[in-house]
Chain A
Amino acid sequence: MSTISRSIWSLAWRESRTARRRLLLYMSSISLGVAALVAIDSFSTNIVQSVKDQSRALMGGDVSFNSSKPFAPAMDSLFDSLSHHGLSFARITTFPSMAVVPRTAGTRFAQVRGVTDNYPFYGNIVTEPAGLWPTLQGGANAIVDPSLLTSLNAKVGDTLRLGFGSFTIIATIKDVPAAAGIAEMLGPRIFIPARYIAETQLVVFGSTADRTVLAKLPPNVDPDNFVKPLRKRIENQQVRVRTVTQTEMQTSDAIENLTSFIGIVGLVALLLGGIGVASGVRAFVARKIDTVAVLRCLGASSGQVMAIYVVQAAGMGLAGAAAGAALGVAIQFLLPQVLTDFLPIDVKVRLVPAAVFTGLAVGGWIALIFALRPLLALRNVSPLQTLRRDTDAEVLRMHWSDVPRIAVDVALVLSVVGIAFLRARTTRQALSISAATGVAILALVASAALLSWAARKGLRTGWPYVVRQGVANLYRPGNQTRAVVLALGFGAFLVSTLYLVQHNILRRFTTAAAESRGNVVFFDVQQDQAAGLDSIIRSRGNEVVQTAPVVTMRIAAINGKRVADLTPGPVEQNGHRAGWAYRREFRSTFRDKPASSETIVSGKWFGANALKAVQDTGEISLEEGIAKEISVKLGDIIVWNVQGVEIPTRITSLRKVVWTRFEPNFFVVFAPPALKDAPKQYVLLTQVKDPQAVTPLQRAVVNQYPNISSIDLTSIKRTVDRIVARVSLAIRFMALFSLAVAIPVLFSAVAATRRARVREGVLLRTLGATRGQIAKILLAEYSLLGVLGGLTGMLLAMAGGWAVVRYLFKVPFTLPIAPIAGIALVIVALTLLIGLLAGRDVFRETPIAALRDV
């Protein structure tokens, strides 16, 4: 037995000699899918590992306590008592400021971090010149992001003004563990010693500042166990507690969300590749009929025949998967360079054997199972074919009730569902992927059947001969209608879905940014500075688009229930977010007309009475998202604690807000009378037409009012545009990638019937058909196939894209007609090109040579 199987192996190897390259070409259909899976899996494993390695350094400690208000005395005494038990605490206060270098008169919005001398507990801050971090605390020093020096035209050694304080720039930051995220693009970072914060006079009552206390635990204490008993004590202190493990999990989660979408694309590409393999192997099988018949004559059993070709297919499938895996590993090493702007950490790229192995196994299996179906037909090849040869289609026909065939079909479906479960993050997602794939395939098979039927029924004898011949090719025995429509439609489906998803997600950013009416925002404007600021802006010929008062407040009670009773249990168990929303600080405004970035979705804007005078219960309008989060509806009563004074209000409307528009937006808008006299600050949005005038204006304002910060939105828009461009490039790359997958698949589909087409074309030529006539026949057939495959794919993509955009990304869906039509045209053109390429042998060879050959 072992000698038999060894000789089968060697026979399989030798027999594949000339077919190897062709078989490998068909199998390469799966390579790109495998590449995508390996790349994305390796990459996400590496990121998760890097996050784990660096999470302490990212946070700077083991546990962080965070608040937008100064910590209450109760918290401070808690920190005090804990530090007697061997814990250390570092404090960071982050606040915005205009950074001014008097020597160059440069002005730039920046984020200041006042840190205590023990920050950070983990990780190193590398400075340029090197080693200066410890000297930061030696005086009124500042260590800044290099980009600040560039935009201020300053250098190390210059004096830096922050609010009312003056600092010396002693170094720039070369590397911080908590690397530049997107937030840093708003403004460069400036580190100063915590004890000099007071000199700036920027962190005062009501100003925007964020306080963080970092704790360092003894090495054997688990952060989560440490925090658990504390949660109860700090529940009502408006303090957010995070442990290093939570941060780790959240970061990993975010990464996995991103990668799972790409992974699904890879999976679908792999399935598309499987279809390519199936049609390619069908062509391969047709070429092997004669050999199999001879082998049968020479005494080979059907089992031996199957063994020979399954070994060949499996070998080549594995080779295709291996090529894909190698490509995937290569891509993985490139990814961090492309994504470096988005990642909060340094990703250490390592080879991930598990990812490579999974890619190989999944790819090899898909190739084998899809190859098995056409291969099964070889079992039925009769030795009689050596004496009398029937047509390929007749020899390879399988009965629908053929048991092994049904078994392979079932295994195929189970494989697809199984792999979907392996990839997807939830059962629902897995079922959706499987169902979508099934629906797509069924729809394509149905439309192929419809095309065949329509061709048969619709064929008119009055049509020109070449058209009749081309149309007849769609339904004649051994036609390729189903294979081509399937490959084509699936490819079109994938490419267009990706395009639609990209279009709809990115549209939100670009349109929103474009609609914004102002380009400079001033904030932290004190009550007595508003009028002065307004006149500075107007005196320079600029327009004040919006002046919004800002009043800070908390919820005191909802519908008669005090907020303490509303908190749904311990924070970490349920309603983490909801619990936070009840206790967070709201920065609310009041106005008598809705802003252009908001629309009422239910209820009515404030009535005349509400606008006129103070009422017992004032009217408010809530943003719909926050209303859901604190579970309130129209007519509910919310009592606000506005800096010690309780103000009862009724919700009279809910608004939808376009947050991505760069305008001052608010969760809660009051009818003006209730808040008119409350202590407040202002936010001003202005339109400065001349970009050159922005910096002088900022400088003039900061000279007059050092506490007022301003942001030039144009630079933010530019940053966002850059990110959008990156993302859209990435998605476009994926779409192009899918198209690249579709091409070998289409080639394989056409290859399945190429021999029959060539033989027929040559026969027609011997009967006197010109090359032009044959080209027209092919043209008629392939344009119908292309149009139908493309069209069905488009329709499927519209449904699929709508579902993904609506339910996965939760944004509204629009249909860009022109680009989608463009994709459809490309698909049709591609089909024609590949069809004519496949038929080129008909034109190249002389009839007699071709007849002898095929």
Chain B
Amino acid sequence: MLIAREVTKEYMSGEQKLAVLRDVSFSIPQGAFVAIVGPSGSGKTTLLGLLAGLDTPTRGTVLLDNADLGTLNENERARLRGEKVGFVFQTFQLIPTLTALENVQVPLELRGTPGAVERARDLIDRVGLTGRGHHFPTQLSGGEQQRVAIARAFANSPKILFADEPTGNLDNTTGHRIFELLRSLNSDGGSTIVLVTHDSTLAARASRTIRLLDGAVVEDTGTEGSAG
């Protein structure tokens, strides 16, 4: 359901063209738990942006749930993100002026989904923050903030969740708890999860690993089962 075909991304660096990604192709079926790994500068984050429709490739296609992201304009992609995509970031990216509960409500309210408060409270409970919904992000620890972010990411029951170094700003123990939370949500709800990380122990616990180096896929543990 998420397909990348010969995706290339080039930036102009002064007069020179700089290829960050070169002909990246793979396909991720619904419900998979995929880790994209690679060293700093290998193009992981760029790839994530392209897969999630935050940006468009220079060449190649990204199909998200049968929608060709390259043919949609920014507002159409926004609507698609609102409906089908969830995000978890390394720096949590909670809106500082909203409480935890209100942060979770945002995607629901943007779509005008009725019963936003109840749904948000339910999600807060599910990530283990019962009773902390009225706290502002600055009043929460890093791990708690990331739980709120995960609750927010699942608010619209997304088909696919993108996580950019979700444990990168957390200590080991907290990081592992967050990882487990993601995995249980993956197995409970059937959402696809695409995780970008440079932590190989975390990556090893994903069901599939795509390794990037200098903008190209050098290893994909899932090619045998799901090519095409």
Contact = CB atoms under 8 A, between A and B. Distances in A.
Interface of A: 1, 3-4, 7-8, 10-11, 14-19, 290-291, 293-304, 382-384, 386-388
B33 interface: no
B78 A15 contact: no
25 contacts: A1-B112, A3-B112, A3-B114, A7-B110, A7-B112, A10-B109, A15-B97, A15-B98, A17-B98, A291-B96, A291-B97, A294-B93, A296-B81, A297-B54, A298-B82, A299-B80, A299-B81, A299-B82, A299-B156, A300-B78, A301-B79, A382-B54, A382-B55, A383-B54, A386-B87
Interface string B77-93: 01111110101010001
A332 to B, nearest CB: 38
B110 A295 contact: yes
B49 A387 contact: yes
Contacts of B93: 290, 293-294, 297, 386
A794 to B, nearest CB: 42
Contact of A387 (B45, B80, B102, B112): B45
A384 B46 CA distance: 9
B194 interface: no
A568 to B, nearest CB: 71
B75 A299 contact: no
Nearest to A308: B110
Interface string B44-80: 0100110010110000000000000000001100111
| Interface size class, chain B | 35 or more
- Sorted nearest first, the 7 A-B pairs with minimum C-beta distance are A299-B82, A7-B109, A4-B112, A3-B112, A383-B54, A301-B75, A298-B107
A18 B45 contact: no
Interface in B90-132: 93-98, 102, 106-107, 109-112, 114, 116
Contacts of A294: 93-95
A3 B2 CA distance: 32
A15 B95 contact: yes
Contacts of A10: 109
B89 A11 contact: no
B79 A18 contact: no
Nearest to B92: A294
Given A15-B98, A297-B52, A299-B80, 13 more contacts: A3-B114, A7-B109, A11-B110, A15-B97, A291-B95, A291-B96, A294-B94, A298-B82, A299-B82, A299-B111, A300-B78, A302-B78, A384-B55
Contacts of A300: 78, 82, 110
A811 B7 CA distance: 76
A3 B85 CA distance: 22
A293 B95 CA distance: 10
Nearest to B74: A302
Given A303-B75, A388-B45, A11 B54 contact: no
Nearest to B102: A14
A250 B45 CA distance: 76
A298 B106 contact: yes
A21 to B, nearest CB: 12
A420 B135 CA distance: 49
A22 B49 CA distance: 33
Given A383-B54, A386-B87, A299 B95 contact: no
Contacts of B95: 15, 291, 294-295
B164 interface: yes
A387 B164 contact: yes
Contacts of B106: 11, 295, 298
A435 B112 CA distance: 48
Contacts of A304: 110
B78 A301 contact: yes
Contacts of A301: 75, 78-79
A18 B97 contact: yes
B152 interface: yes
Contacts of A8: 109
Interface of B: 45, 48-49, 52, 54-55, 74-75, 78-83, 85, 87, 89, 93-98, 102, 106-107, 109-112, 114, 116, 152, 156, 164
Contacts of B156: 299
A299 B155 CA distance: 12
Given A18-B97, A294-B95, A299 B45 contact: no
A387 B89 contact: yes
B55 A298 contact: no
A303 B49 CA distance: 22
B54 A387 contact: yes
Residue picked from B52, B54, B96, most chain A C-beta under 10 Å: B54
Nearest to A292: B95
A490 B75 CA distance: 40
A299 B107 contact: yes
Given A7-B109, A302-B75, A387-B45, A16 B82 contact: no
Contacts of B49: 384, 387
Given A3-B112, A291-B95, A299-B83, A386 B89 contact: yes
Contacts of A11: 106, 109-110
Contacts of A1: 112
Contacts of A19: 97
Contacts of B74: 302, 382
A387 B54 CA distance: 9
A401 to B, nearest CB: 18
A303 B73 CA distance: 13
Nearest to A5: B112
Contact of B87 (A7, A290, A298): A298
Given A3-B112, A387-B48, A14 B97 contact: yes
A298 B112 contact: no
A561 B109 CA distance: 88
A299 B110 contact: yes
A47 B11 CA distance: 69
A610 B19 CA distance: 103
Nearest to B158: A299
A291 B55 CA distance: 18
A19 B112 CA distance: 25
Contacts of B116: 7
A293 B93 CA distance: 9
A303 B109 CA distance: 14
Contacts of B52: 297
Given A290-B93, A387-B49, A387-B89, A298 B98 contact: no
Nearest to A304: B110
A299 B158 CA distance: 12
Nearest to B77: A383
B136 to A, nearest CB: 9
Contacts of B111: 4, 299
Nearest to A4: B112
Contacts of B164: 387
B45 A16 contact: no
A298 B112 CA distance: 13
Nearest to B45: A387
A16 B55 CA distance: 28
Contact of A384 (B54, B83, B107, B114): B54
Contacts of A3: 112, 114
B190 to A, nearest CB: 20
B114 A297 contact: no
A38 to B, nearest CB: 32
A387 B87 CA distance: 11
A15 B94 CA distance: 12
B79 A299 contact: yes
B54 A298 contact: no
A296 B95 CA distance: 12
A16 B98 CA distance: 9
Nearest to A298: B107
B92 to A, nearest CB: 10
Contacts of B78: 296, 299-302, 383
A10 B93 CA distance: 20
Nearest to A383: B54
A448 to B, nearest CB: 29
Contacts of B79: 299, 301
A13 to B, nearest CB: 11
Contacts of A388: 45
